[in-house]
A and B are shown apart, each in its own frame.
Chain A
Amino acid sequence: MNQAPAPASHVRPSLLPTGRLRPLARFLKATELDTRMLGLVGALLLIWIAFHVLSGGLFLTPRNLWNLSVQSSSVAIMATGMALVIVTRNVDLSVGSMLGFIGMIMGVIQADLLPKLLGFDHPATWLVALAAGLLLGVILGALQGFVIAYLGIPSFIVTLGGLLVWRGAAWWVTSGQTVAPLDSTFRLMGGGPDGSIGAGWSWAVGLVACAAVVLLLAHGRARRKKVQFPLRPMAAEVFLGGIACAAILAAVAIVNAYPWPIGSVRRFAEAHHIALPEGGLFIAHGIAVPVLIVIGVGVAMTFLATRTRFGRYVYAIGGNPEAAELAGVDTRWVIMKIFMLMGLLAAIAGAISIARLNAATNSEGTLAELLVIAAAVIGGTSLAGGVGTVAGAMLGAVLMQSLQSGMVLLGVDTPLQSIVVGAVLVVAVGLDTVYRRRTQ
């Protein structure tokens, strides 16, 4: 993607050094895709293929990819918010501890408080526990955001304090005891054979997503036509739509190719009084519930970042806080809202984490803040502020998780895993810095 430096997009055509652009580069330019994002996707594919080859064909299997999607979900959810936090030149070091504390509270509510009031596994339990957790997340975020935005204490310090305070609070909830088992409905948020939507629904989700892609492209084209803006060439539109739909359907096919383990199938057969046929029964996992949540969060956060005033202000503040203030943006309120949003996302990630574990422990989410920040930064978020995307941060989370699970598959020692992840973080940001300098 670096074969030709892309010229500034809207120079007069006569100034375009067309002779220097090769056909592929010209076509990519016509699609108006972000080349940095393409680079990230390329790096991810490269890592996947390398692990696949090195592990002797273990990495690119439905089972591993499905697991990868579930394992990435909690970090990916928080990374979408962290990208925006970092865009405004702040940082949130407390997300891992917040996740742990909120997870403990949600655990206690559903495993201890509500069963006493409503009885064990009451249908409303999961909803009450989740709602309380989300509310708590917003409150914790608001508290930190208020101190940062209105009292002017640097976010690094406030959230470093939060990292210690919320971790201590998580221990305090039950004096360090693990809370288990959790509500069976709540547990669906963690994935597993039950926490997946099966083949039929997965295809339905895939088809809806494809339809949404096509509608979005068509709508954008119609809007541009209406005000007579330059249109993308039709070939580029078809190419974009085709690639996106193919990727979506391929992903669905992969998660549908991962069958339930034999134990779950046997239990299912017993429960439904089906005679287990010779050689077992193929029941597909389909998309895991936490992955559906990630997709929902990703779409919502992208919408928030690109289509709303809030998102516009986030980027404007990141580019020049003083200018945003002078332009009449209530910068403090925007900053406080960002931290509230971050708290909410930490709560969602917390729900997924404890549901997956079927237990709330006070150490849940330890060091998660560093993975989340690393994911946002690998995904192209600049610590200098003003630059970063939600999609990039999510890809960054998948990339980090791919490295980790790939190394586990290869049997790499834990200390070496840390060394590799740390080195990759620095190298990735280094490459990005060089790329940015070249395209400026």
Chain B
Amino acid sequence: MNAACIPLVEMRDISIAFGGIHAVDRASIDLYEGEVMALVGHNGAGKSTLIKILSGACARDSGTIAIRGAEAIIANPRDARAYGIETIYQTLALADNVDAAANLFLGRELRTRWGTLDDIAMEAEARKVMGRLNPHFQRFKDPVKRLSGGQRQSVAIARAILFDANILIMDEPTAALGPQETAQVGELVRKLKAGGIGIFLISHDIHDVFDLADRICVMKNGRIVGTARVADVTKDEVLGMIILGKCPPAAVPGPGAVN
């Protein structure tokens, strides 16, 4: 988190409008290696949309994205993956009718030397990574729609960390989880951070954010209110940013800050 370093991700002046509504308006955000950047705000503040532009699920109207200082072209989810960007979506985007291993490797299947699917190798690999994340997980043959919310969550997370991602986007990763599983996710975030991965964490839970994040970026009505180090602001100040759009002195104000 050295300010002199080139940021891992730098999104500059990103805008996108849906039928005249500015879902994201001139938003700029950056992320460094080994850093957790929390993105908070009300429903409809534009957090998910901003992050979907980075993950290739949404096309922006204007603005630039740079990965490690070089301009990146991200037009679809495949492009984003090529830059080492992995996403865990709020909706846990899983293919419901295939099993955990098929989901982990969806789009990047292991193949035998004949070019056919190597299901056995994929299941063996899946057993390894799931064993680390969720040792109780045993239902490798079931389609994921039969799994519980927490189990589906572990599949979604395992998919993101299976392929050495540099940049991880977590959109409400604990929304479907009980307290114990939430703690596990927190543990995982710290582990990944220590490994040098940059993480965007979208969350409603201000306590989670203060526990896990290094910096915090608040959005309101599609605009960024301000960005601050977690150590420099209080929870009340952050709530003030979320609700009123009032930027405290310790934060760097954005276009959405009210004076």
Q: List the interface of chain A (C-beta within 8 A of B).
A: 8-12, 223-224, 226-227, 229, 303, 306-309, 311-312, 315-320, 322-330, 386-387, 440
Contact = CB atoms under 8 A, between A and B. Distances in A.
Interface residues of B, number: 38
Given A10-B141, A319-B96, A326 B57 contact: yes
A309 B107 CA distance: 8
Contact of A330 (B55, B78, B93, B146): B78
Given A10-B141, A223-B120, A224-B120, A329 B96 contact: no
Q: Which 7 A-B pairs have the closest CB atoms?
A: A319-B97, A328-B107, A323-B93, A386-B97, A316-B95, A327-B106, A319-B95
Contact of A307 (B96, B108, B116, B140): B116
Given A320-B96, A326-B57, A308 B143 contact: no
Given A315-B98, A320-B93, A328-B81, A12 B109 contact: no
26 contacts: A8-B146, A9-B142, A10-B140, A10-B141, A11-B138, A12-B138, A227-B124, A229-B123, A308-B117, A309-B109, A312-B106, A312-B109, A315-B95, A315-B97, A316-B106, A320-B94, A322-B93, A324-B107, A325-B77, A326-B57, A326-B93, A327-B93, A327-B103, A328-B108, A386-B96, A387-B97
Contacts of B143: 319
Contacts, number: 99
A83 to B, nearest CB: 14
Contacts of A303: 116
Contacts of B55: 326
Nearest to A382: B97
Q: Which label, helix, strand, loop or mixed, suits the secondary structure of the B interface? A: loop
B120 A309 contact: no
Nearest to B117: A307
Given A312-B117, A318-B97, A386-B96, A329 B107 contact: yes
Contacts of A323: 93-96, 106
B51 to A, nearest CB: 12
Given A312-B106, A312-B109, 5 more contacts: A8-B142, A316-B95, A319-B97, A320-B97, A386-B97
Given A307-B117, A308-B117, A316 B78 contact: no
Nearest to B123: A229
Contacts of B117: 306-309, 311-312
B98 A319 contact: yes
Contact of A328 (B78, B98, B140): B78
